[in-house]
Chains A and B, each alone.
Chain A
Amino acid sequence: MLKILFFLSSGLFLGWSLGANDAANIFGTAVGTKMIRFKLAALICSVFIIIGAVVSGAGASHTLGKLGAINELGGAFIVALAAAITVLWMTKSGLPVSTSQAIVGAIIGWNFFSHNPTSISSLSKIVGTWIFSPILSAVFSFIIFFIVKGVVEKSKIHLIRLDFYTRIGLIIVGAFGAYSLGANNIANVMGVFTSSSPFHNMSVGSLFQLSSIQQLFLLGGIAIAVGVFTYSKKVMMTVGKGIFKLSPISAFVAVSASSLVLFVFASQGLKYFLISHGLPSFPLVPVSSSQSIVGAVLGISIAKGGRNINWRMLGKISSGWVITPIAAAILSYFSLFFMQNVFMMNV
């Protein structure tokens, strides 16, 4: 058991840093502008991330599994560690970072090391989704922005009451966002361990069963929740006041849009629904909530006439998108070499 926990620790560490970083994408503005108290935000966020991870986390993990089926715990440990270190390093340098990109980079590093062919179709699907997701998020937020604006202006709600409704809206959309984040991004944290999961199926009472993978996701979800509680406040305060200055209502729009994006790239139910109706479906791929929110903010800026877009900031963010997977791949490759030759572990 101790050995298992040791190997899982890198994934849990990655989960922790995901919680610390990405919760701010969901509740940053709400907490930063004092619309919602941090404790409430953290509670909602943690609960719904865990639910999302356990209930709906399998879809996106499956895609990662196709990219590189890491079948040894040691290998999975290194891959997750390389991704986690990349995330930490990028965060320290003040660059917005995506755990999705870090883990994909690290998996590719593993593929190279173990002479596994990287599935080009999976990779192109993933990279294509990365490019597409912020654009989709921008489109969503553009549309939602005009709906919300129309409703607020037509309904002539008093400022004080609008404030009340905005808070409720932020809580609901935050819960949805947390659910989608858990469903979509648990793959990053625990996806590499699924082929080597040490758990066995377990039934809780006679009511429901937790598969070995769901147990793994539960553990990952808890790690994310710990990240949310211990470290995300700081990040939320910077998001709320720093990079994107959003009003509570625009935050509602941005979070709705980016949550929808995370949701459509994670929901198996939606995928089957679309396929059964002969519609084009979304691939189930872990996407970055940070990129999604950047896309959503951009969508709002465009809706407002596109005046105050900070192109330099966008350039800086985009450079992070390229650096992250490459850095993670290189780090993963060399760490695996080290693990195999120094510690004589199977990777």
Chain B
Amino acid sequence: MKKMFMNRTKQLEGDIDEYLDKVTVSSLIFLEGIKSYLNQDTKRFETQYENITKLESEADNIRRNIKYKLYTNMLIPESRGDVLGLLETMDNVVDTAEKAIEQFSIEKPDIPKFLHKDFLLLAELSSKSVEEVVKGARSFFKEINLVNDFINKVHYYEHEADNVEEILKRNVFNSEEITRFSKKVHLRYFAEKIALVSDVAEEVAERLAVYAIKRQI
């Protein structure tokens, strides 16, 4: 009985770890995807788009599996709701990253060379914020004292991303190189899409902060 219980426990721990791994990888693919797009490496970009789509559905399955196990095995009754809330908002991060890449693949925005640096920086900051929020989630499970450090980093990266987003938009709308208004709006839309990833990561961080307080012994 004890062994059975222990096995289930270990399995679930593994599932949660695997899920968080998927989230991290998705943020890395998101960044690489944007890099490939900016470098006009279409083939590589499309593979990354495929990968992130696959990853998104895999993460979904793992999350559902965790939810099922938590409820059927009556585990962590106290923090069950919090854990599921955490994983569900985490899912939004993957979704948002995937949707951004998808939009690139569909709409193929024409990004002028002088904006590449800003777009890349924005994508890096968004990706960073996701990495940190995943670390925060990991420490929520194992080392509650460290959660705040990671949350602070998420806030920092999100704030930086906001700044870069604003600069990028100003550069777009002040630019004389881009003549058509529709193109300006189009570029603004993509800047917002990329920055949205960091916003969603921050939402997860906000929740994590509350859950961590609740878990203090």
Contact = CB atoms under 8 A, between A and B. Distances in A.
Interface string B1-34: 0000110011011001000000000000000000
B9 A164 contact: yes
**Which of B10, B141, B145 has most A Cβ within 10 Å?**
B141
B142 A164 contact: no
Contact of A160 (B74, B76, B144, B217): B76
A267 B9 CA distance: 38
A325 interface: no
Interface stretch (A125-133, A134-142, A149-157, A311-319): A149-157
A309 interface: no
B78 A158 contact: no
Interface residues on B, range: 20 to 34
B76 A163 contact: yes
Interface string A158-174: 11110110000000000
B87 interface: no
B151 interface: no
A173 B190 CA distance: 58
A307 B89 CA distance: 32
B217 A149 contact: yes
A159 B76 contact: yes
Contacts of A161: 9-10, 13
Contacts of B141: 158-160
Contacts of B77: 33-35
Interface stretch (A199-207, A222-230, A244-252): A244-252
B132 to A, nearest CB: 19
Interface residues of A, number: 20
A249 B215 CA distance: 10
A248 B144 contact: no
B9 A156 contact: no
Nearest to A148: B217
Interface string B66-81: 0000000011111100
Nearest to A35: B77
A60 to B, nearest CB: 33
B72 to A, nearest CB: 13
Contact of A250 (B12, B75, B144, B217): B217
A159 B83 contact: yes
Contacts of A152: 217
B142 A157 contact: yes
Interface centre among A35, A163, A250 (most CB of B within 10 A): A163
Nearest to B12: A160
Contacts of A145: 217
Interface string B87-109: 00000000000000000000000
Residue with the greatest number of chain A CB neighbours at <10 A, chosen from B5, B76, B83: B76
Contacts of B217: 145, 148-149, 152-153, 247, 249-250
B143 A156 contact: yes
Contacts of B5: 164
B75 A160 contact: yes
Interface in A6-50: 33-35
B140 interface: yes
Interface in A249-276: 249-250
A248 B13 CA distance: 20
A154 to B, nearest CB: 10
Contacts of B10: 161
A35 B73 CA distance: 11
B1 to A, nearest CB: 11
Interface string A229-252: 000000000000000000111100
Nearest to A34: B77
A311 B9 CA distance: 40
A167 to B, nearest CB: 9
B142 A33 contact: no
Query: Most chain-B CB neighbours within 10 Å: which of A34, A148, A149?
Result: A34
Given A33-B78, A157-B142, A160-B16, 18 more contacts: A33-B77, A34-B74, A35-B77, A35-B78, A156-B142, A158-B13, A158-B141, A158-B142, A159-B141, A159-B215, A160-B13, A160-B76, A161-B13, A163-B78, A247-B217, A248-B78, A249-B217, A250-B217
20 contacts: A33-B77, A34-B77, A35-B77, A152-B217, A153-B143, A153-B144, A153-B217, A156-B143, A157-B142, A158-B13, A158-B142, A159-B76, A159-B142, A159-B215, A160-B9, A163-B9, A163-B76, A163-B78, A164-B9, A247-B78
Interface of B: 5-6, 9-10, 12-13, 16, 74-79, 83, 140-145, 215, 217
Interface of A: 33-35, 145, 148-149, 152-153, 156-161, 163-164, 247-250
List the 6 closest pairs (A to B, CB-CB), nearest first: A34-B77, A163-B76, A159-B141, A156-B142, A149-B217, A158-B13
